Structure 1
Amino acid sequence: MTLTKSELEKLQPLLLLLTAIFSGVLICGVALGSKLIGIAGVIASASALTYPVTFLITDTVAEIWGKDHARRLVINGFFVLVAGFVIIQIILLIPGSDVWKNEEGFNETFGLSLRLILAGTIAYLISQVHDVWAFHFWKKLTKGKHLWIRNNASTSVSQLIDTAIFVGLGFGGIVPFWDVFVGQFILKVSFALCDTPFVYILVAYIRKRYNVHAHLESPVDSSLKS
């Protein structure tokens, strides 16, 4: 089943909100990506704490709105990253005021981020496109049941792809690849596993709050119709 025109109109404000959050998290990931953090001895880019949120939103949109809307969300996010890249480039080219003494630190931080933006953009596009495809592959394979399987199976592999590309292109020659890759992937997968309950909660809330049931995964969810 697909969403009807009236259902799409009813859900439009929520989709816009999720898109805005999705875009904001992407930009945060870019802004924070140059910082390496250590959690329990694990080294990773700070963006490892932000990008799992994008997969949560992508999977929610895929579950409620379907593959086409999820793919459109990913493409829109790509243009957000491109716009961010262009804006940062322009700002870096504009000389700082004489009264501002942080020009060198600013340029050093965001100069590195330019490379990270390119790495993150490529990693994002490939991994998110895969995530949307894999989510619906598993949904078809499980006949629409077991949301947790498609959520975790699609996201885990997508995080592997994202991490390998991002660390390789973004930090290659700066820090040892495996030191950052392993930590980054562990953190991302850990957060991906933790976000499964939130996907269930968000999907259930949307179905009940907006009385939308086009993409119900099983007859059990019919209890949400009240």
Structure 2
Amino acid sequence: MFEDLTKTELYAILAGVFTACLIVSNIIAGKTFDFFSFTLPCAVIIFPIIYIVNDVLAEVYGYAKARRIILLGFFMNLVAVICYNVTIWLPAPVFFENSQAFGIVLSSTLRLLVASFVAYLIGSIVNARLMVYLKKWDEEKLFFRCIVSTLFGEGLDAIIFITIGFIGTIPLEALVMMVIAQAMFKTLYEIVVYPITRAVINNIKKLPEI
């Protein structure tokens, strides 16, 4: 699959995939959908890919390099948000009829921005660190490492994002159910695609370093 690449070259590609998925997830998070009577942000469609790439980075390249990509993703997402808001602020010509819709899609409240940034940083770092720690404990159990690290990372992400973003605006029972549903959905997503994750990791490990 990656025969013509080195680990160094693939690291750059994974950084691009990780950052792009993060930015896309924050754009589509503004819309929700119903999933078996649960309401979830549409970001859950793509956000698990971020954690899968996170697992690959931590497993193959180690915690330090995974953390660099996490911080890069944070910075590029911040750049994207600043650009969105500057674009919305700039006066539109009279013939541009979709200015309000454009602003609704790309603008975010400060509360949701803080919630998503804090949740992303903590959840991603915990996921990567736990992945590396479990590898030292037992290097053979890749499935166990991927699922446990994602469960903790996604769980923390869901708790932090939904608590900061929605506490006081919806009933506590609904908030708790949103946290559980979001964390379980993302973890089940990773379980389903685990064979792909394993294949990617195994192929990357065979590549030359440079």
Could you tell me how far 1:114 is from its partner in structure 2?
5.4
Structure 1 residues 195 and 114, CA, compared in 2 at 3 Å: closer, same or farther? farther
Instruction: Tell me the distance in 2 between the aligned counterparts of 1:108 and 1:186.
Output: 29
User: Aligned to 1:127, which of 120, 123, 126?
Assistant: 123
Could you tell me how far 1:19 is from its partner in structure 2?
0.7
> What is the TM-score when the length of structure 1 is the normalising length?
0.82
Instruction: Tell me the distance in 1 between the aligned counterparts of 2:8 and 2:170.
Output: 44
Could you tell me how far 1:104 is from its partner in structure 2?
2.1
Structure 1 residues 72 and 106, CA, compared in 2 at 3 Å: closer, same or farther? same
Deviations 1:98-153 (A, max 9, x none): 112222222233233654333211110011111111111211222x1211111111
Instruction: Tell me the distance in 1 between the aligned counterparts of 2:55 and 2:42.
Output: 22
> What is the TM-score when the length of structure 2 is the normalising length?
0.87
Matched, 1:34 2:30: yes
Could you tell me how far 1:16 is from its partner in structure 2?
0.9
Matched, 1:23 2:46: no
Determine the structure 1 residue equivalent to 2:153.
158
Determine the structure 2 residue equivalent to 1:186.
184
Determine the structure 2 residue equivalent to 1:68.
64
Instruction: Tell me the distance in 1 between the aligned counterparts of 2:165 and 2:91.
Output: 26
1:1-226 residue pairs with structure 2 within 5 A? 10-112=6-108, 115-142=111-138, 144-176=139-171, 177-208=175-206, 210-211=207-208
| Residue identity opposite 2:42 in structure 1 | A
Q: Does the Cα contact within 8 Å between 1:37 and 1:44 map onto a contact in 2?
A: yes
Q: Does the Cα contact within 8 Å between 2:134 and 2:145 map onto a contact in 1?
A: yes
Instruction: Tell me whether 20-29 or 113-122 shows the greater mean CA deviation.
Output: 113-122
What value does the CA root-mean-square deviation take over the aligned residues?
Answer: 1.9
- The SS at the match of 1:145 is coil
Deviations 1:183-219 (A, max 9, x none): 32221121122232222110112233x256xxxxxxx
Could you tell me how far 1:182 is from its partner in structure 2?
3.0
Could you tell me how far 1:175 is from its partner in structure 2?
4.2
Could you tell me how far 1:33 is from its partner in structure 2?
0.5
Could you tell me how far 1:179 is from its partner in structure 2?
4.5
| Residue identity opposite 1:85 in structure 2 | V
Instruction: Tell me the distance in 2 between the aligned counterparts of 1:174 and 1:182.
Output: 18
Q: Does the Cα contact within 8 Å between 2:7 and 2:208 map onto a contact in 1?
A: no
Unmatched tracts of structure 2, length 5 or more: none
- The SS at the match of 2:140 is coil
Deviations 1:9-67 (A, max 9, x none): 93222111111111110011010001001123331001111111011111111111112
